[in-house]
Structure formats: C-alpha cells, structure tokens
C-alpha cells in the first residue's frame, strides 16, 4: 500500500500542499463562468471540483487514475446533491479531444507522473487561451540524490523540480504564460491546524481505515519525513495560459 492508496483508504479530500487554503487562493484568480467547461486531473474524492461547481455553477469533469477515488467522488457528489462527471483515466493519456476544456485544475498531480507527458496532455485538451492552475511541490534549496530517493520512496513521486524547473516544464508543454501566484514553505504544524479548520463535510473513509496497520504506518512515515525535511520543501501555485 503506497501513499496514494492510503489517501484513497481514508477518503482524503484536500491532501494537496496548502490544503483548502491554497485552493481558495487560486479560485479567486481564475476566470470561471457558468458556461465554463472545467476539468480536474487527479481529482481524488472530488472535494475541490464540487466546490468549484457550487461556487461558479460551471460544468465539471474529474479524472483520477484510481477507480476507488472516482467511486468516492461520485458518492460525495450524490451526498451533496451535486452533478458532476467522474472518470477513471490517466492524466498521461486523457480520453478527451483537443481543446475540450476552458479551465484545467490540478493539485499535486504532476510530481507523480512523467510531467513532460502529463502537462502536454493538459495543454492538448485545453482550448486556446484557456487557463490551468497547478499546485505543486517545489524544492527550495539544492538537494542530494539520497533526498530524492527518499521522497520517491515515501510519496511515490517521480521528481520534485525547483521553481525554474517547473517553468521549463510548462514552457516545454506549450503554455504561453506562466504566473506564480504564491510560493510557500511547508510547515507541518500549520498544515495540521489548517486541516482542522477546514474539516471535510463528507466522511469518505473506508470502514476501519484508521485501524489498518499499513495505513497507520504510511501516515506515520509521511509525518516523520515532513518533520525531517520540511526546510527544503515548499509548494507553489501556478496560473498558466494556453
């Protein structure tokens, strides 16, 4: 059971860096109207996407590679009385035609993929002039190969670029404009406080999830890694234009 499997087990709604606080920052920067077609890649259990639909009345589609996440997202929508389309799919091979969406959202997704491929796919399905928001982990200082192996083992990420590295990836994928809305250091204690302040209104945890040894050991390993390494880790919110 890897880190993403554990997030699915506990039904995490906002496990991305900065949680719902970072989500609110970029929501104020996007141009979303009721007619906007919005795609979230790596939608997880759908909390962010359904908040967008509630706030803007837009048409929403979510994709996630884990079918259990998609099932829980559909359950969330049903319990909240909202309409959404959730599909099991890989962001590296999106099942949509070119230019299908006006806005794309991703929160801590591309570090788990081949970002050159996944970001190019996002650019492909985004209409000309469309916007994309991306919340991603960023290294804040030079790190060793041992550090990179450690973060890959703990989280399952492919790579964690620095700020300049992300901008090169966005440019390589075809995005014409790249704006950094904010970049912040990861502070473990602040993350815990923020999570308590933004409790998920829907409990999507699997039965007995927090009694499973693998779940507890993975969560503990995550907490310990953050405590050791948070000084070198941050996150950034990028606003991109096709």
pLDDT at residue 193, as a whole number: 56
CA distance 105 to 10: 22
pLDDT range class, residue 192, cuts 50, 70, 90:
low
pLDDT-derived band at 191 (thresholds 50, 70, 90) equals low
Confidence of residue 196 (pLDDT cuts 50, 70, 90): low
Average pLDDT, integer, range 47-52 = 96
Do residues 45 and 70 lie in contact, with contact meaning Cβ atoms separated by under 8 Å? no
- Report the alpha-carbon distance of residue 229 to residue 224 in Å, rounded: 9
Q: What share of the chain is helix, strand, coil (3-state, %, to 5)?
A: 45, 20, 30
Read off the pLDDT of residues 155-174 as tens digits, 9 standing for 90 and up: 888 889 999 999 999 999 99
Strand 126-139 to 233-241 pairing: antiparallel
Q: Give whole-number Cα distances, 213 to 32, 143, 151, 218, 219, in Å.
A: 42, 31, 21, 9, 10
pLDDT attached to residue 111: 95
- Flag whether the pTM goes above 0.85: yes
Please give the Cα distance from 171 to 113 (Å, whole number): 17
Strand order through the sheet with 37-41? 85-88, 59-64, 37-41, 101-107, 126-139, 233-241, 177-185
Rounded Cα gap, residues 65 and 75, in angstroms: 17
The rounded distance, in Å, linking the Cα atoms of 58 and 40 is 12
Span 122-141, pLDDT tens digits: 999 999 999 999 999 999 99
State residue 229's pLDDT score. 84
Among the residue ranges 21-30, 75-84, 224-233, the one predicted with the least confidence is 224-233
Q: Which pLDDT band holds residue 195 (cuts at 50, 70, 90)?
A: low
Q: What is the pLDDT of residues 53-65, one digit of tens each?
A: 999 999 999 999 9
Task: Give 188-197's long-range contacts (Cβ < 8 A, gap of 24+).
Answer: 188/223, 188/226, 188/227, 188/230, 191/19, 191/226, 194/18, 194/19, 194/20, 194/21, 195/14, 195/19
What's the pLDDT tens digit per position in 66-99?
Answer: 999 999 999 999 999 999 999 999 999 999 999 9
Per-range mean pLDDT, top range of 10-14, 155-159, 178-182: 178-182
């Amino acid at each position: 059971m890897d880190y993403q499997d554990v997030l699915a087990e506990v039904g995490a709604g906002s496990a991305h860096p900065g949680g719902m606080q970072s989500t609110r920052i970029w929501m104020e920067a996007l141009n979303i109207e009721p007619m906007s077609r919005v795609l979230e890649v790596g939608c997880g259990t759908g909390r962010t996407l359904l908040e967008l639909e509630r706030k803007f009345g837009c048409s929403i589609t979510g994709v996630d590679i884990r079918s259990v996440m998609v099932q829980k997202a559909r359950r969330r929508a049903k319990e909240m009385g909202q309409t959404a389309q959730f599909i099991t799919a890989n962001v590296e091979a999106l099942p949509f035609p070119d230019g299908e969406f006006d806005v794309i959202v991703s929160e801590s997704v591309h570090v788990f993929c081949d970002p050159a491929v996944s970001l190019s796919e996002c650019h492909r399905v985004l209409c000309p002039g469309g916007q994309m928001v991306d919340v991603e982990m960023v290294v804040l200082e030079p790190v060793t190969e041992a550090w990179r192996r450690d973060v890959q083992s703990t989280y399952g990420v492919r790579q964690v670029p620095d700020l300049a590295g992300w901008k090169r990836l966005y440019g390589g994928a075809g995005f014409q404009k790249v704006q950094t809305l904010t970049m912040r250091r990861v502070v473990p204690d602040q993350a815990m406080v923020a999570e308590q302040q933004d409790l998920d209104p829907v409990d999507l945890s699997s039965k007995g999830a927090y009694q499973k040894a693998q779940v507890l050991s993975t969560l503990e390993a995550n907490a310990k890694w953050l405590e050791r390494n948070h000084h070198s880790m941050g996150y950034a919110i990028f606003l991109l234009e096709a």
